């Protein structure tokens, strides 16, 4: 009898441990935030184990579809064809907005250009404008950096800035946000785009205008007061059947404590 009781206790303990261990994968934009939140959550909940990795929004959503991650981080909404694949697999997906992000356009600090319009950005990224002198800068060729196609940031920039026009064929696609930061910081003629939380003194963030008159710098404050135009939600996606497993951490992310981390890390809280 005692052996059976011990076996039951061990089984319950192993089940509880499995419930507490979870994986999160996807958006590089949401990666630093989710890592910090996971650290805080694990510190407050001894025994909880959360593994957080990047790779891009598309990578995270594919991992969720394959059953190799519990939560997919995404800096864009799930596409129709992705939703269809889940439905075809008999899987119900739940979407949660966990924070907002301002997308910053960056150049090398040596670049004297401080601001660009949305139209100028479109012209640069579609290849119409090839030299900084065409937009008020020095006579230097523009070196255009972008995220790769699996990135939600790539998709968002294409929709909001290029108005769904194609990127120029010679655009230099980077596998991660950190690679764009490094490349722009080392290349005088470079331009790129990154999530607000990645900004540091190695690059210069440009002021952006959609109307050609009001140029606004990317910041948490300007995103909150809606004067900065390039802002997007960050999502967690998970399967409905995993809700009991992932809800405690997501509830933490949405709590005042979790949203405090959002702001501390350079993202925009939900309220």
Q: What is the pLDDT of residues 153-180, one digit of tens each?
A: 999 999 999 999 999 999 999 999 999 9
Residues 93 and 194 in one domain: no
Inside any domain, residue 269: no
Within its chain, how far is the Cα of 197 from the centroid?
Answer: 10
Q: How many domains does the chain have?
A: 2
Asked whether residue 256 falls in the same domain as residue 182, the answer is: no
pLDDT at 7: 39
**Below-70 pLDDT ranges, the chain:** 1-20
- What's the confidence (pLDDT) of residue 20? 64
The answer to the question of residue 270 being in a domain is no
Look at residue 163 and tell me if it is in a domain: yes
Residues 133 and 200 occupy one common structural domain = yes
Looking at residue 271, its pLDDT comes to: 83
pTM for this entry: 0.85
Q: Which domain holds residue 254?
A: 2-100+234-264
The reply to whether 76 and 40 lie within a common domain is: yes
Tens of pLDDT, residue by residue over 213-240, are: 999 999 999 999 999 999 999 999 999 9
Exposed, middle or buried, 14 (CB in 10 Å: 0-12/13-18/19+)? exposed
In CATH, what number is assigned to the domain containing residue 120? 3.40.190.10
Question: Is 106 found in the same domain as 96?
Answer: no
């Amino acid at each position: 009898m005692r052996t059976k009781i011990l076996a039951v206790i061990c089984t319950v303990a192993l089940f509880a441990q499995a419930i507490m261990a979870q994986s999160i994968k996807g958006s590089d934009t949401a990666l630093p935030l989710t890592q910090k939140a996971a650290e805080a959550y694990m510190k407050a909940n001894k025994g909880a184990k959360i593994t957080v990795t990047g790779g891009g929004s598309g990578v995270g959503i594919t991992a969720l579809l394959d059953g190799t991650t519990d939560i997919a981080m995404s800096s864009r909404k799930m596409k129709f064809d992705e939703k269809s694949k889940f439905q075809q697999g008999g899987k119900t997906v739940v979407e949660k907005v966990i924070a907002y992000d301002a997308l910053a356009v960056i150049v090398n600090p040596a670049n004297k250009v401080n601001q660009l319009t949305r139209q100028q950005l479109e012209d640069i990224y579609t290849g119409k404008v090839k030299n900084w002198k065409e937009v008020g800068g020095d006579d230097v060729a523009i070196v255009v950096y972008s995220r790769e196609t699996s990135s939600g940031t790539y998709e968002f920039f294409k929709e909001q800035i290029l108005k769904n026009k194609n990127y120029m064929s010679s655009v230099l696609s980077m596998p991660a946000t950190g690679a764009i930061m490094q490349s722009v910081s080392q290349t005088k003629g470079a331009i790129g785009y990154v999530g607000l939380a990645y900004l540091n003194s190695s690059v210069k963030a440009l002021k952006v205008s959609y109307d050609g008159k009001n140029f606004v710098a990317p910041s948490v404050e300007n995103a909150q007061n809606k004067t900065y135009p390039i802002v997007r939600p960050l999502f967690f996606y998970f399967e409905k059947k995993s809700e009991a497993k992932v809800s405690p951490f997501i509830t933490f992310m949405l709590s005042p404590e979790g949203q405090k981390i959002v702001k501390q890390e350079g993202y925009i809280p939900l309220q």
